[in-house]
Amino acid sequence: MFIETRSHDPTKRTVTLLYSIIICRSMVFIVPVIVLFFSQRIGLSFQEFLASESIFAATVVAMEVPSGWLADIWQRRRAIVLGGVFAAVGAALFIPAQSFADTIAAQVLMGMGISLFSGADSALLYDALRQHGQEERYRLIEGRRHGFGLYSVAFSSLAGAWLFTIDPVLTVLGMVAAYLATAAFALFLEEPERQRTGPRRRPAVRALIADNRMVIAAITTTMILFASTSVAMWSQQPYYIALGINAEWFGLLGAVGFIVGGLAGQFGHRLDRWLGALPSLVAIWAALVAAFAAAGLWPGYGGVVLLLLGSAAWGAGWPRMQTIINQRVGSARRATVLSIAGAGIRLGFIPLSATIGMLTTSQGIAVAVLGLAGVLFVLGGPALLLLWHEAGGYAVPHAPPRISIPARDG
């Protein structure tokens, strides 16, 4: 069998383009000042802001399976191109927005764009590696790609906070340019070979996961763990405001958190070798519960540092979940199931963000963060036990053979 050398690696071009794509689509310049942007420029409260993010999340949930199916039967690079265009148009609509109703159209279009990204790039990467017998590189490359994305968020956080002081609109224009660059890079991707089995009609979600309890457990854990980290990241800004931290520091604080998350994503595979993936996930969950509880009970500058652990948990944990799913799902349905996992995060975000928003309005951000710790403890523990039962403590990287999900209609 012919062994490819590093200097003639046939996947190098695809991997480089996918690095470029995640760097561009992660340049969300508005993130470190988004609460200020929505309040000062559009006039929304923090609860209304979270409600608009729930609309975004609901759009992604509604579109995840159709968009993943589209990527599976069409071309994944085309799905990424279309996602970049939709996200760019949606971001641009924030500029003329003047009310909560105005933000809905923007959030819906951005949600459609993000759903087209979700799963397509990771599935394309796995299939490109698999085509050349290099599946074992996926965890390393995907973790590095995830890290690069968080580094990009860190850079755009610094730049976005600075641009906001000049003109808030510049943060949005930067996002529009980044999403269009994402679409441009995707045009140069080549589709890897993959098996297409079964009918090409839109599959039912139940048919995709019914015979794979391991995937169900992974998606459930993903929903609880990463919806909580997402809400924690959005809660950072009102926490800073409550402490009287000036807005010019928001970008730096956000950048520190995302850099930590990037490092966790890039080098997290080493922790797998020492502990195994599931013990690592349990450690991440326990650290988050303790950090959020401490930040809520003793609000202060120490709590600022503890809340930044949410980014680290996202960086370290999500590639592990993607690896678990990729190893148990066949090529023909990989993007769809990864999209379902992404939808689970947004689905969990909707009620959780509404709860935290109401707690913030009525009781203050410290109580809301404490409540977040309680939710993560009560729901996350049983979910991890279920995942442990189905996979075993050291299931990844020494996982059983991949189980292809039959293409059925339901």
Q: Where does the pLDDT of residue 375 fall: very low under 50, low under 70, confident under 90, or very high at 90 and above?
A: very high
Residue 399 has what pLDDT? Answer: 41
Judge whether 396 lies within some domain: no
Per-residue buried b or exposed e for 126-148, using 16+ beta carbons within 10 Å of the residue's own CB: bbbbbbbebeebbbebbbbbbbb
What is residue 364's DSSP assignment? -
Token look-up 């956080």 returns 157
Residue 212 has what pLDDT? Answer: 65
Residue 191 has what pLDDT? Answer: 79
Q: How far is CA 331 from CA 69, 334, 343, in A?
A: 12, 5, 19
Q: Where does the pLDDT of residue 331 fall: very low under 50, low under 70, confident under 90, or very high at 90 and above?
A: low
**Of residues 273, 109, 81, the one with CA closest to residue 189:** 81
Residue 396 has what pLDDT? Answer: 43
Structural domain harbouring 373: 13-191+201-391
Residue 274 has what pLDDT? Answer: 66
Judge whether 159 lies within some domain: yes
Judge whether 275 lies within some domain: yes
Distance CA 165, CA 308 (A): 23
Judge whether 6 lies within some domain: no
CB distance 162 to 36 below 8 Å = no
Judge whether 106 lies within some domain: yes
Token look-up 């950048």 returns 255
Q: Which of these ranges, 195-199, 283-287, 295-299, has the smallest mean pLDDT?
A: 195-199
- Residue, of 205 and 43, whose pLDDT is higher: 43
> What average pLDDT does range 373-393 have in this prediction?
83
In terms of Cβ atoms closer than 10 Å to its own Cβ (0-12, 13-18, 19+), residue 183 is buried
Residue 397 has what pLDDT? Answer: 43
Q: Which of these ranges, 47-61, 291-305, 324-338, has the smallest mean pLDDT?
A: 324-338
Per-residue buried b or exposed e for 187-209, using 16+ beta carbons within 10 Å of the residue's own CB: eebeebebeeeeeeeebeeebbb
CB distance 247 to 36 below 8 Å = yes
> What average pLDDT does range 230-237 have in this prediction?
84
Judge whether 3 lies within some domain: no
CB distance 366 to 249 below 8 Å = no
Q: Give the three-class secondary structure for 44.
A: coil
Q: Where does the pLDDT of residue 197 fall: very low under 50, low under 70, confident under 90, or very high at 90 and above?
A: very low
- Residue, of 330 and 109, whose pLDDT is higher: 109
> What average pLDDT does range 386-392 have in this prediction?
75
For the chain, the average pLDDT equals 79
Amino acid, res. 401? P
pTM: 0.67
Token look-up 């020494």 returns 398
Please tell me the total count of domains within the chain: 1
pLDDT tens column, 159-176: 998 899 899 999 999 999
CB distance 124 to 77 below 8 Å = yes
Considering 24-28, 189-193, 263-267, the range whose residues carry the highest mean pLDDT is: 24-28
Judge whether 409 lies within some domain: no
CATH of the domain at 48: 1.20.1250.20
CB distance 22 to 194 below 8 Å = no
Q: What percent of the chain has pLDDT over 70?
A: 78
pLDDT of 60 higher than 90: no
Q: Where does the pLDDT of residue 408 fall: very low under 50, low under 70, confident under 90, or very high at 90 and above?
A: very low
Q: How far is CA 382 from CA 217, 246, 251, 349, in A?
A: 10, 40, 36, 18
Q: How far is CA 307 from CA 105, 254, 339, 372, in A?
A: 31, 10, 27, 11
pLDDT of 209 higher than 90: no
pLDDT of 338 higher than 80: no
Judge whether 407 lies within some domain: no
- Residue, of 94 and 248, whose pLDDT is higher: 94
pLDDT tens column, 78-93: 888 999 999 999 999 9
CA atoms within 13 A on the CB side of 169: 5
> What average pLDDT does range 244-262 have in this prediction?
79
Residue 3 has what pLDDT? Answer: 41
